[in-house]
Amino acid sequence: MERLIDSLGRTISYVRISVTDRCNFRCLYCMPEEGIPFIPHSEILSYEDTLFLCGVLQKMGIKKIRFTGGEPLVRRGFVDFLKIFREELPLMHVALTTNGSLLNPFIDKLSALGLNSLNISLDTVDPARFKEITRCGDLQLVQSGIINFSKSSPTPIKINSVLVRGFNDDEVFQLLEFARINHLLLRFIEFMPLDGGIWDKSCFISSDEILAKIQQHGNWEPEKKDHNMLDGPARYYINRDTGQRLGIIAAVSHHFCDSCNRLRITAIGQLRPCLFSDTMIDLKENIKHKNSNNLKEQIHYGIKIKPKCWKNLQNSERHMSQIGG
């Protein structure tokens, strides 16, 4: 098996694959209220194509795949695809990111899959504010899905909360309590400048400020833990009084570019070496024609041109749902 190392010596072991650009929410930091033009379904990679792509990635040395959207569970047949994926690629570390709104109908099937992790976006535990942030979501439905899944499956659940000044930065304690009571791993994420039409510097809260906020609600200290090559970018903290763990992802103020281990592939088969760059390599034809040698060459090229740091780039003009969350 190959080992993928880029021009700066970073080992690439993790790929995020979007299975759809569609979403049933319109979150403030993700897309405009009117939504975006969706990609025709005929242009989206089929499940057969996605499975072929993942098989090639595994042979190249990729050890972790995270399926994202949009909202993956809005795509028909996605959970059945995950079952086939697990059967065909049993050694792959597989994770899923969802907004949680459609979890309840799929709990039994998802629980049986033995996913390695489930990430759920949840930015508030206030019903009115949840509807304001998502513009259409039902908090009770999301919370019940989270709680029911956690009771039915040993899969670790991570709750991702983007803190935005003026929207939910007064809910740090409430989010911490929801995670603690339900034995969930909460992670606070900095608001990222992906779309100039949505991102506003005045709404940005740095990881240092987030840390100061959580210190008002407990005795938190950095977790001492050996780094795993499949670990994400979060820095973890432990509450010395309760044992609760918390992660903070400082993608902007203390970027982790020097240890970035990932690539992204959109729902139409475009490889993005960096989340913040509009540079893309179109893999679709080689995926469709099952040309593994040419596909490997393209992926190697994508790794070769992976930039040193997103701060040297012009910000992406695409919405997060189009890239793959």
Please state, in angstroms and rounded to a whole number, the distance separating the CA atoms of residues 325 and 69: 6
Please state, in angstroms and rounded to a whole number, the distance separating the CA atoms of residues 117 and 155: 6
Question: pLDDT of 168-193, one tens digit each?
Answer: 999 999 999 999 999 999 999 998 87
Scanning the structure block, which residue is given the tokens 């942030």?
A: 133
What is the rounded average pLDDT of the residues 30-48?
86
| pTM for this prediction | 0.92
Residues with Cβ within 8 Å of 216's Cβ and at least 6 positions away in sequence, in order, are: 172, 173
What is the rounded average pLDDT of the residues 108-121?
97
What CATH number does the domain located at 4-323 have? Answer: 3.20.20.70
Q: Give 242's DSSP letter.
A: T
Domain extent listing, the chain: 4-323
CB 101 within 8 A of CB 51: no
Please state, in angstroms and rounded to a whole number, the distance separating the CA atoms of residues 250 and 256: 8
pLDDT category of residue 196 using cuts at 50, 70 and 90: low
Residues with Cβ within 8 Å of 92's Cβ and at least 6 positions away in sequence, in order, are: 54, 58, 62, 63, 64, 65, 85
Smallest CA-to-CA distance from 64 within 261, 206, 201 is with: 261
Please state, in angstroms and rounded to a whole number, the distance separating the CA atoms of residues 237 and 315: 30
